[in-house]
Amino acid sequence: MGYHEIDEKFMKHRIAILLLSALTCGCDQENNTEEVDDVYQPNPEALELNNKAVNFIGNAAHSYDSIKGSFYDSALIYLNEALQVDSLYITAYTNKAQVLRNKGQLKESIDVLEKVESIKPGFVEVIMGQGLVYEKMGNMSQAHKKYNEALEAYKARLEDNPDPVKVKLDIAFLYIFLEDKHRGMNELEFLKDEYPDDQQIIAMEGYLKGFNKEEFIKTY
């Protein structure tokens, strides 16, 4: 596998986890589910409804702009039904927030993410997601507030995390949104010294060097 292949595969995975990415849904099909919460088990009926929504989200991602809206509307119907069945199903909430964001309903997307925070306080990926949506709305004061909250949550996670590289990479990426790309690159240099052969670090370094925050926010 070449460097470019490692870079592309790794970064798609990392961005999906970090940002509740619109490119890969929070929950895949039932036989290949990556739960946001690895302890909570959703109601089976809610899981099935969520998976139907995921199909529509996937269809929207590969369709013309003129019909994306109808796919998203169908996804919302299933997600709302899933949440009626299981009001604690975090993945359905994050998928709903994604759909609303893709429809341009940014305030509504944040409201859904706030609901997730009430269910699972300190859920750093959701806090970061709120910051990104606020920045997309042009509300930089709220965005930076959320980014700083996310930084503190990451530091707390780092204290007892068995995979410090993953968390430290998230922190390095977060510094870009705190307007400190130099700090992010320095964090990567420290990681490279500590883990010189780690392909995740090498991939992230290449990604950050060419990263365009404005373009990312625009397409988020």
Calpha distance 130→65 (Å, rounded): 25
pLDDT at 208 over 90: no
pLDDT at 28: 44
Q: What is the pLDDT of residue 31?
A: 36
**Average pLDDT score over residue span 57-64:** 93
Q: What is the mean pLDDT of residues 79-104?
A: 97
Helix (H) or strand (E) holding 134: helix 124-137
**Tokens (6 digits) for 97:** 């927030």
Q: How far apart are the first and last CA of the chain?
A: 29
CA dist., res. 217 & res. 172, Å (int): 17
Q: Which of 15-29, 68-82, 162-176 has the highest mean pLDDT?
A: 68-82
CB 41 within 8 A of CB 90: no
> Taking Cα atoms as reference points, which of 138, 112, 120 lies closest to residue 129?
112
Contact call for residues 22 and 101 (beta carbons, < 8 A): yes
